[in-house]
Amino acid sequence: MENQQTQQIISVITTAIGNFGFPIVVASYLLVRFEKKIEQLTSVNMMLEEKIVKLTETINKLSHAIRENKLP
């Protein structure tokens, strides 16, 4: 089954190269790959932003407690 799928993929790639040219096929492939990576980076970025907000809140609370001399 995998062999047949591999042959189909190779056939599609060969046809695309013949129809559009090698540079366009490679550029399209890279765009698809980079899109996935960009989505992953965006997700990680959002998680980091949430953690930074939480840490900032904690630092502000500690700073306020230090100023008021009311450490937990």
The structure tokens listed for 36 are 């996935």
Q: Is residue 14 part of a domain?
A: no
Q: pLDDT band at residue 55, thresholds of 50, 70 and 90?
A: very high
CB 9 within 8 A of CB 21: no
Q: Is residue 6 part of a domain?
A: no
Please count the structural domains in the chain: 1
What are the tens digits of pLDDT across the range 1-45?
568 888 888 888 888 888 878 888 888 888 888 998 999 999 999
Q: Is residue 13 part of a domain?
A: no
Q: Is residue 18 part of a domain?
A: no
CB 45 within 8 A of CB 51: no
Q: In Å, how far are 16, 34, 44, 51 from 28, measured between CA atoms?
A: 11, 10, 25, 35
Q: Is residue 50 part of a domain?
A: yes
Instruction: List the domain range (segments joined by +) for residue 60.
Output: 23-72
